[in-house]
Amino acid sequence: MAIALEIISPEKLLLARDVDMVVIPGTEGDIGVLPGHSELITGLRGGLVDIYEKGQVTDRFFVSGGFAEITESRCAVLADEIIRQADLDPAKAADSLTKATEAYNAVDPHNADAYREASDQLISAQAMVDSVVPHKV
CATH number at residue 27: 2.60.15.10
* Helix residue ranges, H only, the chain: 90-106, 112-131
- Asked, for residue 136, whether it belongs to a domain, the answer is no
Of 27, 120, 22, give the one whose Cα is nearest residue 70.
Answer: 22
Domain count, the chain: 2
Same domain membership, residue 60 and residue 35? yes
- Asked, for residue 95, whether it belongs to a domain, the answer is yes
Q: What is the pLDDT of residues 45-84, one digit of tens each?
A: 999 999 999 999 999 999 999 999 999 999 999 999 999 9
Instruction: Name the residue with higher pLDDT: 104 or 134.
Output: 104
Angle between helix axes 112-131 and 90-106 (nearest 10 degrees) is 160
- Asked, for residue 127, whether it belongs to a domain, the answer is yes
- Asked, for residue 137, whether it belongs to a domain, the answer is no
Same domain membership, residue 99 and residue 60? no
Same domain membership, residue 62 and residue 38? yes
Same domain membership, residue 119 and residue 76? no
- Asked, for residue 67, whether it belongs to a domain, the answer is yes
- What residues make up the domain containing 122? 88-131
Res. 93: pLDDT tops 80? yes
Cα–Cα distance, 91 to 82 (Å, whole number)? 17
Cα–Cα distance, 77 to 24 (Å, whole number)? 8
- Asked, for residue 68, whether it belongs to a domain, the answer is yes
* pTM for the model: 0.86
Instruction: Name the residue with higher pLDDT: 85 or 136.
Output: 85
